[in-house]
Amino acid sequence: MSNFSVTTVGTASAKPVVGRGQSAQVLSVHGRFFLIDCGEGVQTSLQRFKLPMMRIDSVFISHIHGDHVFGLFGFLATVGMLGRTRPMNIYGPVSLGPILKFFLSYYGEGLRFELRFTPLKMKEPEVIYRCPSLEVRAFPLNHGIETFGYIFTEREKPLNVRKEAIEKYSLSLTEIGSLKRGEPVLREDGTVIGVEEATFRKFKPAGYAYCSDTAPFPEEAAWLRGVDVIYHETTYIAARADQAAARHHSTTLDAARCALEAGARKLIIGHYSSRDQDPSFYEKECRTIFPETYAASDGDVFEINE
């Protein structure tokens, strides 16, 4: 896998269909792995797509509708049987807490790892997780019940100092440290060594947003601004906009407008209705507004920091 990619493990909505599992994704970020939503049978899908189940660091659940959590018990039990000992971090709505308590009460005996649950309550984007390579923000969605989206952003590394600048100016360790922090060097003789001249970045930090399930809402595009790749549910085609509104979901055109307004580079869509077997039609509708739209299938891998 690359430094920053996502595998769409399950792309169906409430009713699974042959060849299409329920909502689940695995995000790979610089050697760390994160599970986003956990539809039914996810542990078998992870094996099928050769994803490292035991290396999953944390689980992020959007909401407690069954197609997003029915796989959680099986996943936790499977990693327990495989011998996991390090803690498992789980983030999700407050309503997920009693479900995890039930799991531990009836199926937790013999587990050798700790479940660390963080309930989410924010009204606007808020940082919930940090590690050396990644920052995660959660934000509320509009789905009729407590539901959250997630933004995963690479953390900026210190600047790299060019070898030719080190040789040209005979830079000291103190001066190199200043330049790495983005501070120009001013010498006693008046020489100024600029940051732009002497440093470079190996890569531009990239961002990925997960938005499922939700009806459109005014703040969404603004909250996603600056994200490179957006995953957005498209449960309904445009002709079924009335059903989407009644059930707090998005249509193809809703998702495409959101990506356009947010200034994203790429839009990935999924969570298709079981009545529509060919997702290419969803993709075509989105592309009338946002050409860089890609309809995901189970097992697809998308690069985030291309």
Taking CA atoms, 281 is separated from 213, 268, 286, 301, in Å, by 20, 14, 9, 20
Among the listed residues 67, 213, 254, 298, the single catalytic one is: 67
Q: Is 37 annotated as catalytic? A: no
DSSP 3-state of 228: coil
Taking CA atoms, 279 is separated from 13, 26, 172, 234, 236, in Å, by 12, 21, 58, 10, 11
Q: Return d(Cα 93, Cα 91) in angstroms, integer.
A: 7
Phi and psi angles of residue 90, each rounded to the nearest 5 degrees, phi first: -130, 130
Q: Alpha carbon 141 to chain centroid distance?
A: 15
DSSP 3-state of 145: coil
Taking CA atoms, 129 is separated from 118, 137, 217, 306, in Å, by 10, 7, 25, 24
Taking CA atoms, 141 is separated from 41, 89, 224, 250, 255, in Å, by 25, 21, 12, 11, 13
For residue 93, the tally of other CB atoms under 10 A from its CB is 19
The b-or-e profile of 212-232 (16+ CB within 10 A means b, else e) is bbbbbeeebbebbeebbbbbb
Report the catalytic residues. Answer: 67
